[in-house]
Structure 1
Amino acid sequence: MERVAIVGAQWGDEGKGKVVNYFSKGYEWIVRFSGGANAGHTIYYNNKKYVNHLLPSIIPNSNSKAFLGAGMVIDIEQLIKELEILETDFPGVSSKIYIDLEAFMVLPYHKEEDGILEELRKNPIGTTRKGIGPAYTDKVSREGFKIYHLFDEDLLKERLEEIIYLKKKIFGKRFKFKPKDIFSFLMNQKRKLEKLNVNFTSAIDMANVFRNTSVLFEGAQGVLLDLDFGTYPFVTSGATMAHGVSSVGFSTFELDEVLGVLKAYTTRVGEGPFPTEELKEIGEVIRKKGNEFGATTGRPRRVGWLDLPALRYAKLRSGLTKFIITKADVLNGLDEIKVCVAYNVNRDVKEIPTSSYDFFVGKPIYETLKGWPDTNHINFLKYMSFIEEKTGIEISHISYGPKTEEMCSKNDLIMKI
């Protein structure tokens, strides 16, 4: 059975939600393996917009089921909101959602900590203040809570007393949460999940199921935001690359394909290096045409030209086998399109960054290509061929609009031209 991972090939916001939604009809399981509510995957179904921050991008009335893996940090309150929205239009859809008991929870005080820490920093890192960093910090420092803690009330109470005692010592009067209030909150959320008929299981219980059916793994954000290999410290707190499937009990060697989603240009939300950022008027033109505002934060995204060294880096780091290009229609009508083909790193020309440090110091070296009036034009086909030649990866599909169905294979496009 086919197992495919879809990850962002840039700094996130490439349109993975739509891409996963498009392919999901061919898979029995859609598995989200990392991240939390700081990621927003926008999909359109029956002309209605849905923004999922935690739910995998399944087609709600299909036979596909969704699994939230142990690599995630789950804000249960946000998850319930998303389920209730879907239940309004697709009654019973929650019964197709499975949550790994090993997944960690984002608690209300994590969001408070997120804001406090950001305000205390001399140079803020641009967190979404969704509590993701503090939740992952608690996970690593062994002060976190897993989903299974919801089903042992005595253990939950005991841990809440210990951990909140410690946090009050650290944060002092700023920390105003009480163990009994967090316990009541969690029990209330648990009852809501049970009423929605959400399933609780584990990757161990699902191991044989996943290996005897088709699975589409959905990544969050993009390779360049990976905790280990992204532009640290301006990264997220978890795994954004295909190796994150290990949290669901899989090896990358078990994957048939790793599809990297990229925009025809590049965007980034928040602080951090961005070698091809375009600060002139053309950047604002692309931002407005592409509606480049964060699905989670609403913040204007920084905009720049396509960065081939970054894509080559993503290819090697995450084992990308094919590309899917999105938002090429945003560049329609431009006379010229710039593409970064290499970096000048301290007078050394590099086609592939040696480490994430090169993103901080690299100066882009550009080539200029002819623009196109629309994506059915030969110049757009030449643009894709240029990307393929320079990265060594085939582009299999093109997304040319926000709707799920506004997508086609490259071969279909060639036939039109």
Structure 2
Amino acid sequence: MKRIAVIGAQWGDEGKGKIVNYFARNYRWVIRFSGGANAGHTIYIKGKKYVNHLLPSIDPYSDSRGFLSSGMVIDLEEMAKEIEKMEVDFPGIGERFYVDPEAVMTLPWHKEQDMLLEGMREKPIGTTGKGIGPAYTDKVSREGLKIYMLQDESTLLERLKELYALKRALFGDKFSMDYKEIFEYLIKLRDRLLRLGVNIAGSIELMEDFRESTLLFEGAQGVMLDLDFGTYPFVTSSTCTAHGVISSGFSTAELDGVFGVIKAYTTRVGSGVFPTEEHAHIADIIRERGSEFGATTGRPRRVGWLDLPAIRYAKVRSAFTHLIITKGDVLSGLDEIKVCVAYEIDGKEKRTPFTSQELFKAKPIYRTMKGWNSVKDKNFDDYIKFIEDEVELPVSYVSYGPGTDEINKK
């Protein structure tokens, strides 16, 4: 397949980074099309752990390149730190990353604003505190700063002054850095990234190469956290479906495949509805076995059983053509496995919710299946077959560990 997208089919944390890193060796470009430093894509390269919050999960041992598209909000400091960490093991790797000058920057005051707003809410959303929501808010309200503004220092300084005055009017004396400090901060980061070899180039400039190359689009978070179709308002601030590839000049109609990544169970970080959440001791067992702690925040993830109605919903919203299942090994040794096959909503059984709002009213209807001792057992094969039949999609790959190559094609 020349062009594919890898998308989280649940509430994020499905293991997309590993899957992308596995596929990346066969693709020239890995393109992150949405989100910011609130994503945490964990990959293991020859036993060493890397957590990329912004960088596309390229394969350092191939000639794959990473592109950060205009659909993202980019924390330049976080990006520099990630590249510098990889430079230790892969000198010169910074030259393989390209940033769209149309992308908006996440600034220090966005992070402060993020936490100020969270503290004001009667019902906190559970934000990561990375400034993502405020950065996207500024983008939509035409108050964002784009990467290309770093090339004109006088205009950048004037724009920062205007925005700082606006934020002071809204929030008072709440920010630790004034506009002059942020200006110096940004210029230093610009120079730091350029020294690392990072390329500033837009999708139009690269389009000829894109059109002639193999492309792997890397999603962030999961469909159930999508701004438009997720469990609003407990969502992220960007597009989590495959339709976000439009920020790179493509559409889902041009994709040869959309791979939805699911865990053998379900997790969620932060507040919001979670129909299959388990509160019994089994949740603690799964959490510990699966190391279910946020790659970005370190917070323990909420744990529940596999939710097939939510996956059917995600399938429609993101045009999935295949599924990839991860962490089946985490459930090994359990006598029984529960699977949500439908919801009860307003007294009626429903296999697929029509809107995200229906999840707030959903009561899970479970089927109990036999457990397995290892992912090589027939019972695990039966579990995969059951998922395929219920969702009406093939499970094309099965991941059984954290390492990039711990994955089998079905």
Q: Same fold (TM over 0.5)?
A: yes
Q: Say whether 1:38 aligns with 2:34.
A: no
One-letter identity of the residue aligned with 1:272: G
Give the AA of the match of 1:204: I
TM-score normalized by structure 2? 0.99
Instruction: For residue 302 of structure 1, report the CA deviation from its aligned partner.
Output: 0.3
In the alignment, is the contact (CA less than 8 A) between 2:103 and 2:146 conserved in 1?
yes
- Deviating above 6 A after TM superposition, structure 1's stretches of 4 or more consecutive aligned residues are none
Question: Within 5 A, what are the aligned runs for 1:191-202?
Answer: 191-202=191-202
1:44 is aligned with what amino acid?
Answer: Y
Instruction: Tell me how far apart the structure 1 counterparts of residues 202 and 408 of structure 2 sit (CA, whole Å).
Output: 36
3-state secondary structure, aligned to 2:235 = coil
TM-score (norm 1): 0.98
Counterpart of 2:87 in structure 1 is 87
Task: Give the 3-state SS of the residue equivalent to 1:173 in structure 2.
Answer: coil
- In the alignment, is residue 102 of structure 1 matched against residue 102 of structure 2? yes
Tell me which amino acid in the other structure corresponds to 2:138: D
The alpha-carbon deviation at position 176 of structure 1 amounts to 4.2
The answer for the alignment partner of 2:148 in structure 1 is 148
Question: What is the aligned partner in structure 2 of residue 207 from structure 1?
Answer: 207
| Structure-1 separation of matches of 2:315 and 2:161 | 45
Count of residues paired in the alignment: 410
CA contact (8 A) 2:25 2:61 kept: no
Deviation at 1:178, TM superposition (A): 1.6
The residue type equivalent to 1:289 in the other structure is: R
Letter in 2 for 1:219: G
Shift of 1:158: 1.4
Q: Distance in 1 between matches of 2:401 and 2:179?
A: 47
Letter in 2 for 1:161: K
Report the Cα offset of residue 61 of structure 1: 2.8
Residue 214 of structure 1 deviates from its aligned partner by 0.1
CA distance in 1, matches of 2:140, 2:198: 27
Aligned position for 2:172:
172
CA distance in 2, matches of 1:194, 1:389: 50
Give the aligned partner of residue 242 of structure 1. 242
| Deviation digits for residues 154-210 of structure 1 (CA, Å, limit 9, x no counterpart) | 211111111100000000122343221111010000010111111010011111211
Q: How far, CA to CA, are the matches of 2:381 and 2:358 in structure 1?
A: 30
State the alpha-carbon separation in 2 of the partners of residues 173 and 289 from structure 1.
45
Whether the aligned pair in 2 keeps the contact of 1:38 and 1:53 (CA below 8 Å) is yes
Q: Which amino acid aligns with 1:328?
A: G
Mapping of residues 22-33 of structure 1, within 5 Å? 22-33=22-33
Contact 2:400–2:406 (CA<8 Å) still a contact in 1? yes
Deviation of residue 152 (structure 1)?
Answer: 1.0
| Structure 2 CA distance for aligned equivalents of residues 291 and 198 of structure 1 | 33
The one-letter amino acid paired with 1:300 is P
Provide the secondary structure at the position in 1 that maps to 2:401.
coil
Q: How much does 1:397 deviate?
A: 0.4
Unmatched tracts of structure 2, length 5 or more: none
Query: What do the CA deviations read for 1:92-151 (whole angstroms, capped 9, x no partner)?
Result: 000000000011100011001011111111111000000000000000111000100100
Work out the percentage of aligned pairs sharing the same amino acid. 60
Correspondence for 2:181 = 181
Structure 1 partner of 2:74: 74
Equivalent-residue separation in structure 1 for 2:262 and 2:15 (angstroms):
8
Structure 1 position 296, deviation (Å): 0.3
Structure 1: which 5+ residue stretches go unaligned? 411-417
**What is the aligned partner in structure 1 of residue 60 from structure 2?**
60
Question: Does 2:107 correspond to 1:122?
Answer: no
In the aligned structure 2, how far is the partner of 1:62 from the partner of 1:298? 31
* Aligned amino acid, residue 210 of structure 2: F
